[in-house]
Structures are given as structure tokens and as C-alpha cells.
């Protein structure tokens, strides 16, 4: 088992590094937007010529020169965002991989590959294949004998950019929510940050979608929010039940005591910890079978290292079955470990007795530290 201190990094440093990545990415998008703006006119004309407008292609109009300028910069920003996505994905992968377990790393890499490769391809296919088919269907449904059709070029671009913008926002929101879950900022039962992220996504879409989507903005925003939340929530569950714990000292003295009580199921044999029976300030990780699951052992050792846990108490056994390598890891971190032995205790079927047992163990650890 690798020593946890080898990759120990403060949480504030993680947030600072993540902020630096997004800040530099934003600056790159702004710089590349200026470069793309130099050739965006020719790209727009080429795309219009690709549309199956037939004779109606001579009836394209621009009702305001400012509309064309707005579309030019909108396309430039979209193209610069797609250009930066592969680099952003690589940096996010390097940022998150050291703190992820294999199944989490695989899931996150798949999301990043989708964003950096599939997303640009999807946008290109939408523009050069999807929208021409959509225009062809719209023209067939809009033909009226004796009526000359005229089309606003800016409106056509607005429709295409609006759909592309929805796709980009959903992908970026999915990455943001996924990172928040991986960092422990969004957990089951702690939905405040999740709701804020989704509200920001919905608000951005409602405020930025072109006027051509009037009447559909709220519906599209709700669908986008549900889609982003659904993908990010498919993230593999944390090995200890949660990725973030609120831990504080339970005794006052020269050597403070920080306690973690592990709810180990012993492969479903041991009774679980009653709800709300562990006091605040004490970590309450859950394990399926700590002695057999190397992933849970690594996660628990990392929890001890990151939060400077001094005492580890497991509910199921008396801690003697711990693997020697896991014991050595805890000893190297100056963490004492013990067990409550609920697995062989008939009274452990009673929630009242288990709550009393937890209170007694907490008091015992605190008093031992004071002595």
C-alpha cells in the first residue's frame, strides 16, 4: 500500500489550482476568439452556401449590420471554446487523476474524452449535416405557391448557434458537477451546491439563448439541467460513503484527539450504525468489508492522513483481522485503532444498545487522551 503522505495536498491548494486552470482557459478563449474572428466571415459564407436553399439562396437578407457582427463574434467564441476543450480536458485529467480511484479515473477520463473529441465532432456534424437537413425539411413545409420566401441570414445563424450553445453548456456543466462531486463539494443529502450549479446553468441558457428560442427557453433550460445532473450523478459512489467529512477535535489538551468511527458491514453480516448516532465532529465512513477490500483500506488511510485522525474505531470486529499492511500504514500515521466487536455481540441487534456503545467508545477515547 502506497504511503498516503506521498500525494498529500491541502484542499485549499486544490481549489487554487482548479481556479488557475479555469482562469487560464478563459484567457485562451478570449485570445483565440480574436484569431477566429479573422476568418469567421469566410466560414459563415461557406456554411450558407452549403445550405439547401436552392433559388431561395438569393433571397437571404441582413436586416441589421449589427446582427451580422454579433453572429460573427458568437461563432468566433464558439470555435475558440471547441479549440480549447482538448487542452482543458488534458489539464483537468492531470489535476484530478492523482486523487481518483481506478473506477473513478476511468469514468472521468471517458467524460473528458467525450468533451474533447466527441463534442467538437458533434458540433461540426450538426452544422454541416444536421442543420442543412433541418433547413431542407423546413423549406418543404413552408412552400406556398405564388409567395416568394425571404430568409434572414442572422436568424439562421442564431438557430444554429443556440443549439450548439446548449450542447456546450450541458457539457461544461457536466464537467463542473463531476469535479464538485469528486472533490466532495456535492454529496448525497447536501444538495445546496448542486442546486446552485444547476441554477447557474439554467439561468445562463435562459439569458443567452437567441430570441428565436423565445417560448422554449425555460423548457430547454430544464431539460439541459436534468441531462447534466443525470450524467454527473452516474459517477461511481465514494468508497467510504462520502468524499467529505466534517471533523473536529473531541478533547482539549496538548495532544488533540480526532476520531473516526468506521461503520463496517463485514460483507453484510455486521449490524449497521443507527442513523444520527455519531456526534458531530467525528468522521463516520462506511465500508462493506474493510479487511477484504483494498480500495476501502487505501481510502481510509488517506482519510486518516488528510484529516490527521488520531483514533480509528471499527464497529464490526476488534480490529485484529486488519491486514498487516493496513496496520503498518495506520501506525506510520500515528493513528491508534481498535474495535467494538459488534459482530459477535447479540445485543448489537438493538439500536439503543449500539447508540450507547458508540457514546461509551467516544467518551473512552476522549478520557484516555486526557489521561
Residue spans per domain, the chain: 4-232, 259-370
- pLDDT tens, 218-256? 999 999 999 988 888 887 777 777 777 778 877 666 678
pLDDT, mean over the chain? 79
- pLDDT tens, 127-171? 888 888 877 776 666 665 555 556 677 777 888 888 888 888 888
Decide if pLDDT at 274 tops 50.
yes
Instruction: Choose the most confident range, by mean pLDDT, from 119-128, 201-210, 338-347.
Output: 201-210
Strand partners, 151: 60
* Distance in angstroms (rounded) separating the CA atoms of residues 210 and 218: 13
Is residue 83 a contact partner of residue 33, using CB atoms and an 8 Å limit?
no
* pLDDT range class, residue 3, cuts 50, 70, 90: very low
In 200-314, DSSP assigns E strands to 259-264, 286-287, 311-314
Pick the closest to residue 228 from 202, 203, 210 (CA basis).
202
Is residue 263 a contact partner of residue 312, using CB atoms and an 8 Å limit?
no
Amino acid at each position: 500500500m502506497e504511503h498516503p503522505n506521498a500525494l498529500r495536498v491541502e484542499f485549499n491548494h486544490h481549489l487554487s489550482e482548479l481556479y488557475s486552470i479555469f482562469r487560464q482557459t478563459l484567457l485562451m478563449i478570449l485570445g483565440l476568439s480574436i484569431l477566429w474572428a479573422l476568418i469567421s466571415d469566410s466560414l459563415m459564407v461557406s456554411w450558407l452556401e452549403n445550405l439547401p436553399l436552392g433559388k431561395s439562396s438569393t433571397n437571404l437578407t441582413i436586416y441589421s449590420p449589427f446582427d451580422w457582427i454579433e453572429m460573427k463574434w458568437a461563432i468566433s467564441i464558439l470555435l475558440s471554446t471547441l479549440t480549447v476543450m482538448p487542452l482543458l480536458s488534458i489539464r483537468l485529467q492531470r489535476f484530478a487523476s492523482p486523487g481518483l480511484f481506478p473506477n473513478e479515473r476511468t469514468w472521468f477520463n471517458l467524460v473528458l474524452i467525450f468533451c474533447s473529441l466527441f463534442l467538437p465532432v458533434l458540433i461540426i456534424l450538426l452544422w454541416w449535416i444536421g442543420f442543412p437537413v433541418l433547413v431542407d425539411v423546413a423549406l418543404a413545409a413552408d412552400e406556398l405557391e405564388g409567395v416568394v420566401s425571404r430568409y434572414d441570414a442572422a436568424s439562421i445563424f442564431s438557430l444554429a448557434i443556440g443549439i450548439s450553445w446548449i450542447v456546450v453548456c450541458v457539457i461544461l456543466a457536466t464537467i463542473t458537477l463531476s469535479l464538485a462531486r469528486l472533490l466532495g463539494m456535492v454529496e448525497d443529502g447536501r444538495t445546496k451546491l448542486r442546486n446552485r450549479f444547476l441554477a447557474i446553468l439554467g439561468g445562463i441558457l435562459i439569458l443567452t439563448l437567441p430570441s428565436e428560442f423565445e417560448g422554449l427557453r425555460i423548457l430547454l433550460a430544464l431539460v439541459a439541467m436534468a441531462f447534466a445532473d443525470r450524467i454527473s450523478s452516474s459517477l461511481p459512489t465514494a468508497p467510504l460513503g462520502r468524499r467529505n467529512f466534517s471533523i473536529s477535535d473531541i478533547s482539549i489538551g496538548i495532544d488533540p484527539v480526532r476520531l473516526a468511527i468506521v461503520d463496517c458491514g463485514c460483507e453484510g453480516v455486521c449490524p449497521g450504525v443507527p442513523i444520527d448516532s455519531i456526534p458531530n465532529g467525528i468522521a463516520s465512513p462506511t465500508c462493506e468489508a474493510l479487511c477484504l477490500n483494498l480500495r476501502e483500506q487505501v481510502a481510509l488511510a488517506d482519510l486518516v492522513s488528510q484529516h490527521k485522525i488520531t483514533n480509528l474505531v471499527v464497529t464490526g470486529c476488534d480490529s485484529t483481522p486488519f491486514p498487516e499492511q493496513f496496520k503498518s500504514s495506520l501506525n506510520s500515521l500515528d493513528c491508534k485503532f481498535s474495535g467494538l466487536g459488534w459482530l459477535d455481540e447479540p445485543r448489537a441487534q438493538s439500536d439503543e444498545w449500539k447508540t450507547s456503545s458508540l457514546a461509551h467508545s467516544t467518551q473512552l477515547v476522549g478520557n484516555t487522551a486526557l489521561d
